[in-house]
Every structure is written in C-alpha cells, then in structure tokens.
C-alpha cells in the first residue's frame, strides 16, 4: 500500500499544497522565502504523522534544509553569488552536498520519498527563476555535470532498486535545474511527467527494496518496466519528450557549450543504470517464480 492518510496527514498535506500554489503569486523575495520555510515545517509535520523509522533521521533532514535556507537568505542580502550558488546546491542535495540525502531519503516512507523527490524541490527551483537570482554559472554547470556523473556511476554499482530510485532523484536535480533555465512550461511539463513516473514506480513497492510479490509477474513487472523506462528518458516513453524539449530550449536560448555536451554524455550512465536495475528486477522475479513453482 502506498500510503494511509490520517486526518492530521491530510491537514498538513492540504495546507502544504495551498502554500505551494500561493508561491506563484508572491513577488517579494522575503515573503517567498518565509512561505518556503513554512512549507518546510508543514513537510516535517506531514513526515511526523507518517514516519515509521528513526525520527533522528527526520531531524537531520530538517536541520540541513533549515541551514541551507538560512544561508540562501544571508547570501542573497549580501549579494554573494558564489556562496548563494553553494547554498542552493546544498538545499537541492547536488554535488558536492548529496551524500547526506542518500542515507536519509532511503528510509523515508514511500509517499514522503515521492514528495521530497518532486514537489518539495519546486519552491527552490521557482525561486531561482522568479527572482532571476545571480548564481555562479560555472559552479552551477560543474555541479550539474558531476551530479549526473556520480549518480550514474553509483546506480551502476548498487543492487537495491530503491537505492537506484534515490540516486535517480539526485541525478534528475540536474534536469530540474536545466528545465527552469528555459521556461516555466518546460519546467512544469518535465516535473509533472517525472512525478507521475516515480509515483507509479513507488506504488509497486510495499517494502524498502523488494517489489510486490513475485506471483504478479505478468501484471506488475511489465507495468514497472514501463515506468522505469519512462524515468530513464528513453524513447518513445513520456519523459524522453520532456528531456528533448529541455535540450532544444537550452540550445535555442543559451547556445551549445561544452559543459552541456559533457552533461549529456554523463546522463548516458544514468540510462544504463535504469536498464541494469530493470534487468536485475526481471531476473529476481523470474528466479522467485521458479523457486515458488519448485516448492509447490
């Protein structure tokens, strides 16, 4: 089961979404920052009603997010573009600030994992676009490329499918940042397709790492494969068109630079990681079915 809402969970989530939509109408940076921090508190409240693991992990997540938000405010006031860029990279858990995110988000319940990987990234991304923040583009491009590269390498080396999704969440931060550099339509289209794909993948899980019962090989495995391939951005699956739109929009607005080419090459590692994880899943399901048939 994906999630069971309590009345408190529903209250926190509905208020969270209300604040999310209100961000689109805020023109003051300081009001925007305040609402973003209120959303962080609502996220913590929602997590508290659903969390089944150690609450210390939840507090670490809150402290790092609060620290990065505070640094964003300070460096925005003093107009330190390089340090402001570093603060955003910390908040978005991008290179070199992503190791803390891996261990924490892995233990989150499925719904909180989905929320932290999708909608909870939107306020920081929109802040960069709405207020045209002056970031250090050299550092930003370097982090985008290395985030994708390291995520792809780690995806190729892990066996746990859930860990693959965690690393995918980190790697796709690069695509989120690139999409908001183009226009809001591209950004919302990409994050909508990504959110939908991740939602259906997580709905196939009832534990931390094992897929649903292997007896449902015919029904769940092919559905899972479809959404994993969509998440990888391979043609002709939905996210491929979102990524192509980002690539074409970036080329038309910013031109083609060597860092963008490096990023695209590194992204192929993530695609290989998705395919490898899907192959391992089918091998696992096939062996489980054989063992089940031999047992009975």
Average pLDDT over residues 141-147: 94
pLDDT value for 161:
82
The tens digit of pLDDT for each residue in 165-205 reads 999 999 999 999 999 988 889 999 999 999 999 998 888 77
* 242 pLDDT above the threshold of 90: yes
Please, what's the b/e burial string for 134-152 (b: 16 or more CB within 10 A of its CB; e: otherwise)?
ebbeeebbbbbbbbbbbbb
pLDDT value for 230:
87
The tens digit of pLDDT for each residue in 94-133 reads 998 988 898 888 888 888 899 999 999 999 999 999 998 9
Per the prediction, the chain carries an average pLDDT of 84
The tens digit of pLDDT for each residue in 10-41 reads 888 899 999 999 998 999 999 999 999 999 99
pLDDT value for 216:
41
Peptide bond into 172 cis (omega under 30): no
Query: What does the alpha-carbon distance between residue 78 and residue 55 come to, in Å, rounded to a whole number?
Result: 35
Which contacts (CB < 8 Å, 24+ apart) does range 62-69 have? Answer: 64/90, 64/100, 65/40, 65/91, 66/37, 66/40, 69/33, 69/36, 69/37, 69/40
By percentage, how much of the chain surpasses pLDDT 90?
47
Query: What does the alpha-carbon distance between residue 220 and residue 238 come to, in Å, rounded to a whole number?
Result: 19
The tens digit of pLDDT for each residue in 50-64 reads 765 567 778 888 899
Considering only residues 167 and 283, tell me which one the structure prediction assigns the higher pLDDT.
167
* 279 pLDDT above the threshold of 60: yes
pLDDT value for 53:
56
């Amino acid at each position: 089961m994906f999630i069971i809402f309590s009345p408190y969970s529903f209250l926190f989530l509905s208020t969270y979404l209300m604040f999310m939509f209100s961000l689109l109408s805020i023109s003051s940076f300081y009001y925007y920052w305040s609402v973003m921090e209120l959303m962080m508190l609502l996220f913590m409240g929602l997590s508290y009603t659903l969390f089944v693991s150690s609450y210390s992990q939840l507090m670490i997540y809150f402290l790092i997010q609060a620290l990065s938000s505070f640094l964003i405010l300070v460096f925005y006031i003093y107009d330190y573009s390089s340090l402001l860029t570093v603060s955003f990279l910390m908040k978005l858990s991008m290179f070199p600030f992503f190791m803390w995110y891996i261990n924490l988000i892995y233990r989150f319940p499925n719904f909180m994992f989905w929320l932290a990987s999708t909608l909870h990234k939107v306020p920081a991304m929109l802040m960069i676009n709405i207020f045209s923040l002056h970031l250090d583009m050299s550092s930003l491009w370097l982090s985008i490329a290395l985030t994708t590269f390291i995520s792809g390498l780690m995806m190729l080396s892990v066996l746990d499918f859930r860990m693959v999704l965690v690393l995918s969440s980190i790697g796709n931060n690069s695509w989120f940042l690139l999409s908001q550099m183009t226009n809001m339509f591209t950004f919302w289209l990409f994050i909508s397709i990504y959110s939908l794909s991740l939602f259906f993948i997580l709905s196939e899980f009832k534990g931390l790492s094992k897929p649903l019962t292997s007896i449902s090989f015919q029904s769940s495995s092919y559905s899972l494969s479809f959404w994993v391939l969509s998440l990888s951005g391979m043609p002709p699956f939905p996210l491929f068109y979102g990524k192509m739109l980002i690539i074409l929009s970036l080329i038309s607005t910013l031109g083609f630079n060597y860092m963008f080419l490096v990023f695209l090459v590194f992204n192929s590692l993530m695609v290989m990681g998705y395919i490898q994880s899907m192959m391992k899943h089918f091998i696992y399901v096939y062996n489980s079915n054989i063992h089940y048939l031999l047992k009975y």
